[in-house]
Structure 1
Amino acid sequence: MNYPAFPLYPGKYALPAVPDPSEHAAYVRLREPAATLADLDGVVLTYQQHVMHYACSRYWNRQLEGWVRGELRVLEYRSRILGICGGFGLGAPVAALVLEQLGALGATRVITVGTAASLQRELRAGEIVVCDRALRDEGVSHHYLGPAPYAMPSSDLTDHLARILRARTTEVRRGTGWSTDAPYRETAAEVAHYGAADVLTADMEAAAVFAVAEHRNIDAAAVFAVADSLVDRRARQNSPVTRNALHVALEAALVALGDTARASQRPGDEALR
C-alpha cells in the first residue's frame, strides 16, 4: 500500500504562501501606528506563566496589549530593552504562530525557555539543557523546511547562551532534543531508540521554532529545565528545583539576548536608544 508523503503537497516548503505575517503587523498598526519590535534587543518565549510572573516581579515592564497572541511585555534588563512573551499555550503550532507575529513586527532574536522530559537516566529534574538541534517529529517544521531529520538553532546565540549558563551553574547539558506534537503518544520504543542515540530531552516546540526562525531569518535558541523523565517514568511535579532552573534559564536568556544585540550594534546606535 502506498501512503501519502508529508506534507501532502510535495515541495510546499519552497512555495510562497497566500497569507503572510505582514498582514498581522498591518492589522496591529491600524490601532497602534508606531507598533514595532525592531528596537528590542530580543524576545524570550516562555510556556510557564510563573516565569512571566517572575520576570515582571523583578524588572520594570509594560504590556503591549493585542500585539501578538498571548501576553507580550517589554522589560528593562541591565540597561537593555527586551521582550517576554507567554500565556499563548503549548505546542509547535502556537509557538510557530507567535514567532511569525513577533518577526512580522520586527523581532530578530528569540530564545525559548521551557520544560522538557528527560530521555537519559542520569538527567534529573532541575537540570538545564541547551538544545543545539531538534529532531523534527512534529508537523510544523515540514511546512517550512525541506526534508531533513533536524532543525537547527542559531549557532552563535546557542553557543553564547551555553557559555553564560555554564558560568552560572554546573547543572547544564547541551545536546539534541526530540520535538513531538503528541506528548501522550511518546512510546517506550521511541524513548529507548532516541535515548540510545544520545538524545537528551523530549519537548513540543523547539523544532518548529528553529524552522520558522530559519525561514524568516531570525536568530533563535532554546533552553529547557528538566521537569520529568520518560526513562524511569517520573511524572511532572510542582518541583522547586525545576522552577528555580527555569528562573536561571530565563536570566541567562536575557543576558544572551542583550549581549548579542550589543555585539551586533553599529557604531553610533547606542545614541539612538
Structure 2
Amino acid sequence: MKLTEFDSNKKAVINAEDVVNKIEGCPETIVTCFSKKIINKAVEIYKPEVIGFVHNANGDIPFYKLNINGKRIGLIMSMVGAPAVVSQYEDLFVMGVKNILVFGTCGVLDKSIEDCSIIIPNKAVRDEGTSFHYAKSSDEIYVNSKALEKMIEYFNKRQIKYVSGKVWTTDGSYRETAKKVKKRKEENCICVDMECSAIAALAQFRNKDIGQFFYAADNLDSERWEPRSLISDVEDDMKTKILNIALELAEKLYL
C-alpha cells in the first residue's frame, strides 16, 4: 500500500525553498483561517499591511502583517483541503513564519455540541493522504502537541466554553456516510474536518508549533444533515468574536 512508504528524508526533489523567497520583516507568528469572509472582516477592522503573497494556480493569496498591542502578527487565508494547506504552510515557513495558529469550521458528531462553540482537538483520525508523506503510517496522530496545555489554560482563564477531543480528518467531504459516521463515533471522534491530521503531521515533521482549534458548524449526529451556520450568515458576529479570540490566543501562546 503506497501510504506506508513514508520517507523521513527532509529534502525532496522539489522543496518550498526552491520556489519561495524569505520575506524581510516577516512575522514569526501568524493567525489563519479558511474563511475568506472572516479574513476580509479582519482586514476591515485592523487595516493590515500586505507584505507578500502565496502564489498558486487558483490565484494569489495576500499575506498581511498586523500590529496588535505593539506586536507583529501575520494574517493569511488558509487553503481548503489537506494537500493545499500543507503546501501553503511549507511556503510560509520558508518566508519566515515559525508559529501558526489556525482555526476553522468542523462538522460535529455529537449533537450536544452547540453551533459555533469552540473545539480543541487533541488527536486526529488520519483518513486523508497528505499526512502519510510527513509521518509514519498509523490510524491516528496527536494534535496540538506543543500548544495543547497552554490553549486549555487560556480558554479556562478567559472562561470561554470549549470541548476537547478527537477529530476525524477526511478527504471525502461528500463521502461522510452514515456507516462511517457511526464508526468514527465508536472511535470517540466528536467532530470531522479536512485538514487537521495533515497539519499535525507537518508540524511534527518540520518541528514547528502549529495550534489548531475549531468552531462547530454542521451537525452529522442526526437522521438528516443539519447545516446550522455552515451555509448561513446567522452567526457572523460570533465568528468575528472567534477571530479576536484567535488573535489574542496567538499573542498569549507565541509573543
Deviation for aligned residue 1:239: 4.5
Change in 2 beyond 3 A, CA 1:145/1:207:
same
- Aligned-partner Cα distance in 2 for 1:175–1:155: 13
2:213 alignment partner, one of 217, 223, 242: 223
Structure 1 residues without counterparts, runs of 5 or longer = 30-34, 263-273
1:45 alignment partner, one of 10, 32, 37: 32
- Aligned-partner Cα distance in 2 for 1:190–1:114: 22
Q: Percent identity?
A: 21
Query: Normalising by the residue count of structure 1, what TM-score does the alignment of the two structures yield?
Result: 0.82
Q: Is the 8 A contact 1:176 1:200 kept in 2?
A: yes
Q: 2:248 maps to what in 1? A: 255
Deviates further, 43-52 or 168-177: 168-177
Asked if 1:92 is matched to 2:82, the reply is: yes
- Aligned-partner Cα distance in 1 for 2:238–2:128: 26
Match for 1:101: what amino acid? D
Match for 2:3: what amino acid? P
**Structure with bigger gyration radius:** 1
Change in 2 beyond 3 A, CA 1:204/1:53:
same
- Aligned-partner Cα distance in 2 for 1:248–1:151: 29
- Aligned-partner Cα distance in 1 for 2:154–2:187: 27
Q: Is the 8 A contact 2:34 2:104 kept in 1?
A: yes
Deviation string for 1:221-255 (max 9, x for gaps)?
A: 111111101111202331433x3443333223222
Deviates further, 100-109 or 52-61: 52-61
Q: 1:72 maps to what in 2? A: 63
- Aligned-partner Cα distance in 1 for 2:144–2:89: 15
Deviation for aligned residue 1:207: 1.0
Q: Is the 8 A contact 1:12 1:143 kept in 2?
A: yes
Match for 1:6: what amino acid? K
Q: 1:268 maps to what in 2? A: none
RMSD: 2.2
Change in 2 beyond 3 A, CA 1:11/1:97:
closer
Q: 2:226 maps to what in 1? A: 234
Aligned residue pairs total 247
Change in 2 beyond 3 A, CA 1:259/1:168:
closer
Deviation string for 1:118-174 (max 9, x for gaps)?
A: 011211212110112221111100011101222333434232223323444543111
Query: Normalising by the residue count of structure 2, what TM-score does the alignment of the two structures yield?
Result: 0.87
Greater fraction strand: 2
- Aligned-partner Cα distance in 2 for 1:169–1:49: 28
Structure 2 residues without counterparts, runs of 5 or longer = none
In the TM superposition, structure 1's runs of 4+ consecutive aligned residues that sit over 6 Å from their partners are: none
